[in-house]
Structure 1
Amino acid sequence: MKFSILIANYNNGKFFKDCYDSIIAQEYTDWEVVIIDDRSTDDSVEIIKKIIGGDKRFVLYENDANYGVGVTKAKLIEDATGDVCGYLDPDDIIRPKALKSAVEVLKNKKDVVLTYSRLAKCDQNLNILSEFKSARQVPNGQDTFFNFPIQIAPFVAFRRDVYLKGKKINPELKIAEDQDLYFKMYEVGKVHFINQTDYLYRAHAGGISQNDNKAKSYSYYARSIWEAMQRRNLKQINGKQIPQSYSDPQEIFDLLEYQNKIPFRIRKKITIFLQKLFS
């Protein structure tokens, strides 16, 4: 089972050596790396080319214009040749067991289409600041699941053939394209949580959550939720009407506020327990 590590780069070449080293250190060895540079304005392409050298497991493509993350990440899947795909940002790293753990689940559980583990937030030098404690198994097969609050997060691996047969990433999304992917994979199969920290996320001045993109991500995330509601033919949620068109992100998140409350969380835990018991 070949694993395609997918890297969308824009002006992050200066961090790529750490990313590269973490890939080379993987315990699972049947992998390829597909990189697309989204028209960086720095020397990223030259840095990446120098690091990967003549290693044929790495393939580097360059966009002819800056298309954005939605277009670039969708194209990465198309360009990959592996059975399983997983995104890795060029400024982040994965731990040695990341690929192996995901592949083991996907080999043994044929109904699972996506796996996810836990990430840790790090400083610019990859010293761990905090772990993402909200990551845990979510209930499968529920029309009202929208990863709210967020529980599915990197490191995420998914079956490429299942993705290609279904709905694709919305190329119009500039941020939150990962949520769009999670929703679409969730709709066609089971997702499985691997209880270990595999992904180290580097916080730095140029990162998405450190600049003005953070506010935009809120809107794109809400849009992904609304589009999922439409695909699932939902008219109401928790007794409230779902808008026929998307305009206000807060309106979408207000619909889901009940999922933060204790009664819903208790029901969810019971559902997850029963699904584990009878799986």
Structure 2
Amino acid sequence: MNCLDPLISIIIPVYNTGKYLPKCLDSVAAQTFTDFEVLMIDDGSTDGSGEICDQYSQFDNRFIAIHQTNQGVSASRNNGLKRARGSYISFIDSDDYIHPQMLDLLYMAVCQGDYDFAMVYNKIVEEYITEFQSIDIPNLQKLYPKDLICNILGNSDMDGQYIVCTNKLYKKDLLKEVYFSEFKIAEDLVFNFKLFHKVNKAVLLKHDLYYYWKHETSAMYNVSEKYYLDRLNAYWECFNWVSSGTFSEACYLIKLYKVLFSIRLQSRKAMYYNNISKRIDEIYKHVCGNFLKNRFIPISRKVLFMVLYYVPLTYKAFISFCEWKAKKIR
């Protein structure tokens, strides 16, 4: 490894994840690919996480501890981007961990076809995996701009694979002038949405190599008014990147409407519901015209969504029906 000019910079924002951080860092240290630097951005932790970062930096000069006052995950990643020396960038969350071959396979894949980035599947786990299956011949799939935009705006569980930044290896040049927005949630949606409009081609490794550790302090469990507002505003920010009247806009608007309905239902009993409802109405007024005029959205879908919007209780009934129908099919 060339310590002065590593091939890959791994950026890990750290905030009060001392219980999980050693497993994360150990999984990075165990990589079969070794030409990397690890920028551990301690975001003002108070549980000893910062000290753990210092310990790893003392025993392995590839691990670099950077301490800052608490500013949030987006500021931590942006700080890492400014300091990164590698030609490629990878992000890992400090309470997750990765397969021993992940960096090796991502680097091999991205170089194989001169791709702008490579990605793997992330997998939600509830316990630490100790035995990993070796991958000799990876299953690769080429991705083009239209694929990426449609997938990130998809209406299935797979859209999350495209939204997150932590299961990817990016060319550093692709990230020029693109930074994370100051959202508490869905910050990677806006980040990747902007990037996907710059991509010529990418590649997917169809393997579960990134492990998202599901626990009680995960972001998915910490909902608040800011959580909901940030999610709404993140999707609203993406609207400025969609061309009017296109198929991509149709995919985006269908996704946005589902987000509006879902958040309104989830927050309906919260004390801050009126603030959330007001923001939903503001966004709806801006996009309703585009939704009704877009020729790629079927009339039946337009009628259905108008009913779901103006008669909120019908959305809960609609979701219950869809869940019942899905169980019946199984």
Distance 1:47 1:193 in 2: 33
Given residue 113 of structure 1, which amino acid in structure 2 is its aligned partner?
A: D
Structure 1 counterpart of 2:178: 167
> How many Å separate the matches in 1 of 2:250 and 2:59?
56
User: What SS is found at the alignment partner of 1:53?
Assistant: helix
Match of 2:241 in 1: 231
User: Which residue matches 2:79?
Assistant: 75
The answer to whether the aligner puts 1:89 opposite 2:99 as a matched pair is no
Gap change, CA 1:211 and 1:228, over 3 Å in 2 = closer
The reply on whether 1:248 has 2:280 as its aligned counterpart is: yes
2:116 counterpart SS class: strand
Paired amino acid for 2:16:
N
Over the residues paired in the alignment, what is the CA RMSD in angstroms? 3.6
Tell me how far apart the structure 1 counterparts of residues 9 and 287 of structure 2 sit (CA, whole Å). 34
TM-score (normalizing by structure 1): 0.75
Find 2:230's aligned residue among 220, 223, 247. Answer: 220
- Whose relative contact order is higher, 1 or 2, with alpha carbons under 8 Å and at least 6 apart? 1
Aligned equivalents of 1:58, 1:98: Cα separation in 2 = 18
What are the within-5 Å matches in structure 2 for residues 57-72 of structure 1? 57-63=62-68, 65-72=69-76
Residue 139 of structure 1 deviates from its aligned partner by: 5.8
Q: CA deviation at 1:216?
A: 5.0
Please show how residues 63-212 of structure 1 align to structure 2 within 5 Å: 63=68, 65-110=69-114, 112-123=115-126, 125-126=127-128, 140-142=144-146, 145=150, 146-149=152-155, 150=159, 151-152=161-162, 153=164, 154-164=166-176, 166-170=177-181, 172-189=182-199, 190-212=201-223
What letter is aligned with 1:35?
Answer: M
Once the two structures are superposed, residues 206-262 of structure 1 have per-residue CA deviations (whole angstroms, 9 ceiling, x without a partner) of: 11112226x75554344333323313443673397999xx94298499969x69x99
Q: Using the alignment, how far apart are the partners of 2:54 and 2:197 within structure 1?
A: 38
Q: Distance in 2 between matches of 1:209 and 1:140?
A: 30
Match of 1:248, SS state, is helix
- State whether residues 11 and 40 of structure 1, in contact with CA within 8 Å, keep that contact through their aligned partners in structure 2: yes
| Distance in structure 1 (CA, Å) of the matches to 2:109 and 2:190 | 22
Structure 2 Cα separation of the partners of residues 179 and 253 of structure 1: 19
C-alpha distance in structure 2 between counterparts of 1:220 and 1:235, whole Å: 26
CA distance in 2, matches of 1:101, 1:218: 36
Unaligned ranges ≥5, structure 1: 129-135, 263-279
> Which residue, out of 5, 10, 14, partners 1:5?
10
| Cα distance in 1 between the residues matched to 2:40 and 2:46 | 16
Give the residue type in structure 2 aligned to 1:192: V
Q: Is this contact kept in 2: 1:222–1:253, CA < 8 A?
A: no
Report how many aligned residue pairs link the two structures: 245
Separation in 1, partners of 2:44, 2:78: 16
Q: Distance in 2 between matches of 1:217 and 1:138?
A: 34
Q: Percent sequence identity over matched residues?
A: 24
Q: Which has the higher helix share?
A: 2
TM-score, normalised by the number of residues in structure 2: 0.64
Structure 1 residue matching 2:59: 3-state secondary structure:
coil
Provide, for residues 41-87 of structure 1, a one-character-per-residue CA deviation record: whole Å limited to 9, x for no partner.
Answer: 22111122224423110111111x21111111111111111111111
Q: Residues of 2 paired with 1:168 and 1:201: CA distance?
A: 23
Q: Which residue of 2 aligns with 1:269?
A: none
Name the SS of the counterpart of 1:22 in structure 2: helix
